[in-house]
Structure 1
Amino acid sequence: MRLFYYHSKHGNFGDDLNGWLWERLAPGRWDDRSDTLFSGIGTIIGNPQPPASRTVVFSSGFGYSKIPADWGSDRWKVAAVRGPLTAKVLGLPADAAVADGALLLSTLQELKPIPEPKRGNVIFIPHHTALDFAGWEEACDLSGVDMVDPRGDSHQVIGRIREAKLVIADSMHAAIIADTLRVPWIPVASSNQISTFKWLDWSMSLQVPYEPQRLPIPSARGAFDSWAQKVSRSVNYLEPPTPEFATAHQNKALSFTDDATARKLAWRKRYLHKMPARAMKHSIFTKYSSASDARRVNKTAEALSKHAARKGYLSDESVLKARVDELLSRFNNVINGAFK
């Protein structure tokens, strides 16, 4: 099979672990020349795919794209999806929902949980798009929380999660991997980019609540960008974060996926995102934003300090084990040809 997953131009550890996890679990079974795609970890159902006669979906999620035009045809073989919201929107039976494939990291001997007394600092892992804007490192330095760049090497990022005593997770895969490695986690949202739908999709699969808190954005440029998402109808963060609201919002978003509307919204988004970058080159904006950003960084640092003192979430051990066992069973079925 040929691996299919999202490749961020700057790197993103949650996506990048596809590049080595599946080879570890099934050595020698992957071939870039294969006519069968293996759709793995990530919110990638509906993303543009390379030509292939068959796509095996294994733990992928839905949430950013259109439903594929040929969805439900013989080309699609669904072994498992990430959670119940993906299954519902795609019209799949409830038992198609298992969990995110990153849970299978727990089967690797080198990633066995570290006893709590031997774990180290509180870490914060932002969503990779948050780092398009300044201020996060400064806020972490002030708060005493270690920032881990999600664009770094996936092995190293996962190692930092495993060694932490608490993970403040803006990145969903920071929470997924923390929970898998038995490290408590706290969900936060750095902007309107953070997808309530996909967080609920995963958290419901492990029967843990999703109760995020907004983080103050530590730069005027980042705050503007979050506002621009509202105007361009690209908001993913929802309040209240309920499955019903998230599903209704996702279904509404699908109604805007006709070509004309999509082009209009894409143009609006590009224009709004470029405009402040040009305006803030002028000295008057630079002077204003410098003073504003200093205040914003302090507010973000205060919020991170408060989160660092909280008790984190952790799924029930028996629920996690059941999901890992089911994922492993279905993965072996895929490898052994049950979904050819």
Structure 2
Amino acid sequence: MNYIYYKDPKGNFGDDLNGWLWPQLFGVEQPDNDAFIGIGSILYNDSPLFRDLGNKRKIVFGTGIRPGYKNFTCDNTWDIRFLRGPLSAYNFNNTYEYIADAAYALRLTNDFNNIRSVKKQYEISVIPYFKSLEFFDWQAICDQLGFHYISPAAEKGVEHTLREIAASRYVIAEAMHGAIIADILRVPWSRFVLSTPFTEGGKVSEFKWMDWLHSIQLYNTESTPIQLYRKSSLHTKLKKMSGNMISAEFFVKRVVKDELLSKLRAIKHFHLSNDSVINSIDSRMFEKAAQLRQEIGFTPASIPARTQL
């Protein structure tokens, strides 16, 4: 199949999971075959990822809606097996079922138990959103906190990043797939919010987090907001001088860094989905993967048994 996902030039762990995971479950990529759409919030109208697919079959396997002012629509070339969460399902008036984020299929791989069982090395690890990298030296931030830094760019490869998360006792994540992989590996996690309201948009960010969280039956989770841009005295002057035509906010690095250090240090509450929820996800995804493998005629060298918690 042709694996369709967003590719950032500098790398992004959440998206890059696609290129590592799906060949293990469904075989090496065949660009001329059906399109397979897995991990990502990439279901939206006029997406450039789908522009050249034409009448090819488009298999959706746990993908999420990216919210817009118009609901995402699809024709009969789309084969939606399941969606990421209930908010994505609502887009289609609940015509299609949801299970959870496609990344939970990591639990179906032969290497999963080996990755999950790595020795714990880090008390707390921090995974920022990949677009937050430009604002701070995150290694220095983590060194100052006494925490372990895990790069969302996954420079050493996806599997290395998976093992780094598994080797952590707790994870503090701005990157959603940092939290998702922690949950998959049964590592308690906590969310912080820094650049996402500005880099991907608050509406998109909150939608995709709530879509995932509700799919794993977590409804009242805490997050830690850190204000990236803020108004200064210059804002008032500019607004007055421009007749309310200019509203200015500024990134004051020292102030934001102090708040970031203070708030991350203060995080004490971590989350983890219930084992029974994970067992249900495992069972349903196992069946969906087995059905698709049978349809495309792919038989892996060995098929892992379902992991039971």
Provide TM-score, normalisation by structure 1.
0.71
1:163 to 155, 160, 167: 167
Q: Counterpart of 1:294?
A: 254
- Measured in 2, the distance between the counterparts of 1:66 and 1:38 equals 25
* Distance of aligned partners of 1:65 and 1:335 in 2 relative to their CA distance in 1, 3 Å threshold: farther
Flag structure 1 segments of 5+ consecutive residues without an equivalent.
226-271, 281-288
Q: Counterpart of 1:22?
A: 22
Q: Counterpart of 1:60?
A: 63
**Structure with the largest fraction of helix:** 1
Give the ranges of 4+ consecutive aligned residues of structure 1 lying more than 6 Å apart after TM superposition: none
- Measured in 1, the distance between the counterparts of 2:5 and 2:97 equals 20
Percentage of identical aligned residues: 28
Q: CA deviation at 1:185?
A: 0.5
Answer yes or no: is the 8 Å Cα contact 2:191–2:224 preserved in 1: no
What amino acid does structure 2 have at the position aligned with 1:16? Answer: D
What amino acid does structure 2 have at the position aligned with 1:334? Answer: L
2:207 to 184, 197, 211: 197
1:47-67 deviations in Å (ceiling 9; x for gaps): 221323221111000125576
Give the number of aligned pairs: 268
Answer yes or no: is the 8 Å Cα contact 1:82–1:201 preserved in 2: yes
Q: Counterpart of 1:181?
A: 185
Farther-moved stretch of structure 1 (132-141 vs 191-200): 132-141
- Measured in 1, the distance between the counterparts of 2:79 and 2:17 equals 22
- Measured in 2, the distance between the counterparts of 1:59 and 1:66 equals 22
Answer yes or no: is the 8 Å Cα contact 1:142–1:298 preserved in 2: no
Q: CA deviation at 1:190?
A: 1.2
Q: Does 1:107 align with 2:113?
A: no
Answer yes or no: is the 8 Å Cα contact 1:43–1:61 preserved in 2: yes
Flag structure 2 segments of 5+ consecutive residues without an equivalent.
232-246, 297-309
Provide TM-score, normalisation by structure 2.
0.78
Q: Does 1:208 align with 2:218?
A: yes
- Measured in 2, the distance between the counterparts of 1:99 and 1:67 equals 23
What amino acid does structure 2 have at the position aligned with 1:327? Answer: M
Aligned 1:294-333 pairs, distance under 5 A: 294-307=254-267, 310-333=268-291
Farther-moved stretch of structure 1 (116-125 vs 99-108): 116-125
Give RMSD over aligned pairs.
Answer: 2.8
- Measured in 2, the distance between the counterparts of 1:65 and 1:224 equals 26
Q: Counterpart of 1:39?
A: 37
Farther-moved stretch of structure 1 (117-126 vs 142-151): 117-126
Answer yes or no: is the 8 Å Cα contact 1:44–1:64 preserved in 2: no
Aligned 1:94-133 pairs, distance under 5 A: 96-112=97-113, 114=116, 118-133=120-135
Q: Counterpart of 2:302?
A: none
- Measured in 1, the distance between the counterparts of 2:20 and 2:118 equals 27
